[in-house]
Structure 1
Amino acid sequence: MTSAAAVPTSLLRPAVNTAHAARVSVLAPTNKAHLGNLEHLFRNRGAVESTATAAAAPVQPVRRRRQAPLLRLPSFLKRARGDVAAIATQEEQVYLSPRLFQPVPPDGPSPRGDIAAAWQRLHGADGWRGLLDPLHPDLRREIVRYGEFVDAAYGAFLARPDAAPGDADAVRVPLHDPAYRVTAPLFATSSVGLPSLLALAAPCAAQRTSLVGYVAVCENQDEVRRMGRRDIVIALRGTCTVLEWAENVRAGLVPATEAADAAPSTGDASAPKVECGFWNLYKTAGDGSPSLSEMVVSEVRMLLKKYEGEEVSITVTGHSLGAALAVLIADELAGDGGAPTPVAVFSFGGPRVGNRAFAERVEARGARVLRVVNAHDVVPHLPPRPGGRWYADVGRELRLDSRASPYLRPDADAGCCHDLEAYIHLVDGFLSSHCPFRANAKRSILRLLKNQGANVKQLYISKAVDMRVRLDAVDMPGSPLGRLGTPPSTVLECVH
């Protein structure tokens, strides 16, 4: 196993030095700069980034092989014919990078750097010391990448919301990363059910067992070498069903033991306890199907046995409810015994899971937890902890601020502040708590416009409409973009 001492010097120094931070604060990008980026998005789709010299080098078009694209693009995003003008001024070279929204060719080399010698630190071997503020570029790419795994879990559920464990072979997960293969879908079962009359009236809402995520493993040898290990990913979506909401509000603490039906209790603070609803979803078995806990442990054990002798990591990632379940999974896998396989959690907008004793148990077992939190998201503050009692946070925190985004309105609503795509957008633009949103962020804002049109500043909405942007067929309350739709089968391409 690679030791932390073998970390390259590039990872040990901050991602943004003091001089650079001062320069960024002086030359903070303006609205004109970000509007210019929209121009590059829609008019210069095929451009590549010019060199950082005083005289800009000619921009060369990206060559694409004739292979099936990783993700389909709307027709209006197809690369325009003709030459693309080079960026004129030095300031534009810094802040108007035409790669801001440009997709990397899906069949080309990975845009991510080699992290084989540093992956242990990137996955929390020393608690992410020195990597969070400023945020190291390689860690940013890792967080965004795992956010896209969670997005695929949402996509799988929305494609088959009625999927059951017996339909596992029919579940299709729209993975963003072709280097990984899904080995097993995951289902969670609620311990409560709707009254019989309501169940008859709404059979879909009464479904107790629902597709909640999946297990995937990296099978591309080039990617395994780049990452320095074979990565097993467990990705979990957030709350989507009525019965999951019912479990969410069961905030009483129960012992973190195998007794799934343990009675809520607030006594004996020295015993590890977790939120009742989360524990029930994790440990409750369905009709003729195992619990989520049994599914995960069984699948991971099988994969560890299959790749015995290799360096393997287990990465659990989730959003909202999925973030809470990710902590429970990491706690169990880290304490499962056997070979000491590193277990890391990258969670987005996750609520508190258990008490202080539980948090200490998770850390004592060696599970590394990084919580990505938006300062204006209310979910990470739930369940409340009056006087600092009962509930406690686990692991390290990467705190973001949705008001730092130049695209989102400062009064963005609670749904936007908790939205997964908004989280990924904020991570991609985060430099440090003392720097503005990075203007050369590479992730497309098209998905943000699609999901949160009512919370995007009118300046950018109007610009998109003026350029006759046609997004996916989607309802955007309060935005004229809702009337400019393309077929719903379209999938937007995002890069990091």
Structure 2
Amino acid sequence: MAILLSNFLFPFPKQFSSPLPYSTSNSWFQTSRLFKTRNAEQSSQCQVISRTRHSYASIEEHEQQQQINMEESLPESKIADSWREIHGSNDWTGLLDPMNDLLRSELIRYGEMSQSCYDAFDYDPFSKYCGSCRFSRGKFFERLGMENVGYEVTRYLYATSNINMPNFFKKSRWPKVWSKSANWIGYVAVSNDEKSKELGRRDIVVAWRGTVTRLEWITDLMDFLKPIAAAKIGCPNLGVKVESGFVDLYTEKEEEGCGYCRFSAREQVMAEVKRLTERFGGAEEEMSITITGHSLGSALAVLSAFDLAETGLNRLGNGRVVPVCVFSFSGPRVGNFSFKERLHELGVKVLRVINIHDIVPKSPGFLLNESIPRAVMQYAEGLPWSYSHVGVELKLDHKVSPFLKQTNDPVCAHNLEALLHLLDGYHEKDGRFVLASGRDPALVNKGCDFLKDHYLVPPNWRQDENKGMIRNKDGRWIQPDRLKFEDHPHDIHHHLTQLGLHFYS
């Protein structure tokens, strides 16, 4: 998770409260399992003392030695042995219903990397650094309480302000700001040696920031498809089209603007992935490229995955092909049916996790989409507002969680922390909701009001101490200065030239 809560709320797994008595036949909490072969005695790590139906249940851990003995008796599933299947080599056949425990844990892990983009972003218009990342690249995961994630952030990504999507970009009210046109939009990271050994390969991650509280950006979409080749993204099929708002955000730049806008988000991510594949591609170890994002960030994840594969960035000099996988959360449709087919031809694997009550995955293309008959879809293919989802879909339903309010609030339905909560409790279609890992339910209310009131978790509780203000030596409250952000590495021109993109910069 992106925020440590060991001294805050619901300090799992030591103790937590539940509004209803616990029973083995109707449990909402369940410890993480690697195989479904565990019997009932092995699967329970909690000793439960129930008072009355209207009292809270007190749940305590077994003795430490009992836990050790139980874990030693269980088979161990290692991601290093099955990472290709987890990343969609078989299109997740047999892994979603029932839900594979290892896949669930990996989805949550990458979902938390996507969530970190929200937790690190400066939303405050009264901050002179509004629109930037609150932390330096070298301490990104450490400042978020994710120091054990096993990845190093190698590059920050910036997008140039787009007049067609004014609700996505955040602006400071200060007269002098770090950038007038740019917003921080994500990062590129790579697994360290220890994590790579655990994963069975060197993993390059691209995480794109979306928007979690304001959904007005959906109405900003022009709902108009344009050929991806028009954005100078090479594609042999001129019929491949994408939503114009997404591709504009991905490719726009201001050559005469500030240093953060001189290169498009596309050029930044392409150059960094090129650098990392050159650095690690010559070794004997396996590699993977995993791209993740939530909401609008999901659209950028799908688009950049298409771009990387179409450009051949995942094809190494020794002939090896690096698998490209997208873990999408609450993402909209990105392109037309030809885009979907071309993405499949390129071998890009996409697993989309959605809440069925979320309006974003139903947009754009509310009328003409993949749900209509194939014959009608082929006829509508030439229309500029005919869209199709890509990849494999995992549908979740927030109304099955006993922790969440029965609300129709679209912001709650679109919340990423809530979606990760649903992932943790999902085991099979129409099955009981049972939390698999003890992931803290309090995280759901980090940026919304979704948990039932009797859990006594305040809504929108996540904020900086004193909203980032500190007291100086004179006793006055001020906003501290931050270190100057790195805009673009000095070797970006070199890598873009190798990719043939220098003609467009």
Matches within 5 A, 1:177-216: 177-192=148-163, 207-216=180-189
Q: Does the Cα contact within 8 Å between 1:401 and 1:426 map onto a contact in 2?
A: yes
Q: 1:369 to 1:426 in 2, by over 3 A?
A: same
Matched pairs, number: 385
Flag the structure with higher helix content: 1
What is the Cα deviation at residue 153 of structure 1? Answer: 1.0
Give the whole-Å Cα distance in 2 for the aligned partners of 1:56 and 1:329: 41
Task: Provide the C-alpha distance between the structure 2 equivalents of 1:55 and 1:364, rounded to a whole number of angstroms.
Answer: 44
- Quote the Cα distance in structure 1 between the aligned partners of 2:154 and 2:105: 24
C-alpha spacing 1:366/1:96, structure 2 compared with 1 (3 Å): farther
Alignment partner of 1:251 out of 213, 219, 223: 223
Q: Percent identity?
A: 36
Partner amino acid, structure 1, of 2:187: Y
Aligned position for 2:268: 295
Deviations 1:156-196 (A, max 9, x none): 2227853569x9769845363431110001111234287xx
String of CA shifts for 1:217-248, please: whole Å, max 9, x gaps: 11042x22221101111111113799993894
Q: Which residue of 2 aligns with 1:404?
A: 400
Whole-angstrom CA distance in 2 between matches of 1:212 and 1:124: 26
Cα distance change of structure 1 residues 119 and 299 upon mapping to structure 2, 3 Å threshold: same
Q: 1:86 to 1:379 in 2, by over 3 A?
A: closer
Letter matched to residue 294 of structure 2 = H
1:114-163 alpha-carbon deviations (Å, 9 max, x no partner): 11121001000011111111110000000000010011111222278535
1:38-437 matches, within 5 Å, as 86-87=47-48, 98=60, 113-158=77-122, 162=130, 172=140, 174=144, 176=146, 177-192=148-163, 207-221=180-194, 223-239=195-211, 245=217, 248-257=220-229, 259=231, 271-286=239-254, 287=257, 288=259, 289-308=262-281, 309=283, 310-337=285-312, 338-339=315-316, 340-388=321-369, 389=380, 390-437=386-433
Residue type matched to 1:333 in 2?
Answer: L
Give the deviation of 1:377 after TM superposition.
0.4
Instruction: Tell me the secondary structure at the aligned position of residue 311 of structure 2.
Output: coil
1:16 aligned residue: none
Distance 1:98 1:200, change over 3 A: closer
Query: What RMSD, in angstroms, separates the aligned Cα atoms of the two structures?
Result: 4.5
Q: Aligned-pair distance for 1:435?
A: 0.7
SS of the residue aligned with 1:369?
Answer: strand
Alignment correspondent of 2:450 = 455
How far apart, in 2, do the equivalents of 1:427 and 1:39 lie? 13
In the alignment, the residues of structure 2 paired with residue 348 and residue 55 of structure 1 have an alpha-carbon distance, to the nearest angstrom, of 32
Deviations 1:236-293 (A, max 9, x none): 11137999938942221111125379xxxxxxx9701101110001011132421111
Find the residue that maps to 2:357 and give its secondary structure.
Answer: coil
Name structure 1 gaps, 5 residues minimum: 1-28, 42-50, 60-84, 90-94, 105-111, 262-268, 466-470, 477-481, 491-496
Residues 29 and 434 of structure 2 are in contact (CA less than 8 Å); yes or no, is this contact kept in structure 1?
Answer: no
Letter in 1 for 2:287: V
AA in 1 matched with 2:221: V
Using the alignment, how far apart are the partners of 1:228 and 1:54 within structure 2? 32
When normalised by structure 2's length, the TM-score is 0.66
**Superposed CA offset, 1:374-432 (max 9, x none):** 11001000002424341000000011001111111222411111001001100111001
CA deviations 1:32-66 (Å, max 9, x no partner) are: 339xx99999xxxxxxxxx9776999x8xxxxxxx
Structure 1 CA distance for aligned equivalents of residues 161 and 295 of structure 2: 16
**Residue 97 of structure 1 contacts residue 440 of structure 1 at CA under 8 Å; is this kept in 2?**
no
Contact 2:191/2:202 (<8 A) preserved: yes
**Which consecutive residues of structure 2, in runs of 5 or more, have no partner in the other structure?**
1-17, 31-37, 51-56, 68-75, 370-379, 381-385, 469-505
Q: Counterpart of 2:350 in 1: which secondary structure? A: strand
Secondary structure (helix, strand or coil) at the match of 1:151 reads helix
The CA distance in 2 between the partners of 1:182 and 1:148, in whole Å, is 15
2: CA distance, partners of 1:329 / 1:342? 14
